[in-house]
Amino acid sequence: MSTTAHVATSPAVQATRFAESIIKGNPSLYQSVEVQGVREFEPGFLEVDNKEPEFFTVYLRESGLGRPKGSLLAADAVGDFPTYEQAMAYAKHLGGKYGWPLDDFYQVAQAA
C-alpha cells in the first residue's frame, strides 16, 4: 500500500492529466473528441450504451496518421464522468484546445 497522501481532485482535472498522457504532445494523432454513454453489463465489462448509460466517457478518435488507408480508427478513452454535463464540458474543453470537432453520440441516440 502506498504511503503517499491522496489529494482529491475533480474528475476534469484527473481527466486532463490522463488526456495529456495519451496525446503526448502530438494532437495530430487524433481527429475528433466524442462523448458516449457507457454501462457495465457484467462485472468488469463495459459497453457503449447511449440509451441508458450509467456514466459518460470522453474519447479521442484517432486520425489515422501513419496508418494504411482504410484502416479502422480506434478511440482512446480520456475521461469518465458521472454526468453528461461534466463529460460535455470536458469534451468541449479538449475540442477547443486542439481544434477538434465534437461528436455527441449520447444526444444523437436520445433524439432517435
Q: Over the stretch 82-99, which tens digit does the pLDDT of each residue have?
A: 999 999 999 999 999 999
Per-residue pLDDT, averaged over 6-23, amounts to 63
pTM for this model (two decimals): 0.81
Query: Which tops the pLDDT comparison, 7 or 27?
Result: 27
Residue burial 26-48, b: 16+ Cβ < 10 Å; e: rest: eeebbbbbbbbbbeeeeeeeeeb
- Answer whether 55's CB lies under 8 Å from 81's CB: yes
Q: What is the DSSP-derived secondary structure letter of residue 50?
A: S
Residue 11, pLDDT score: 55
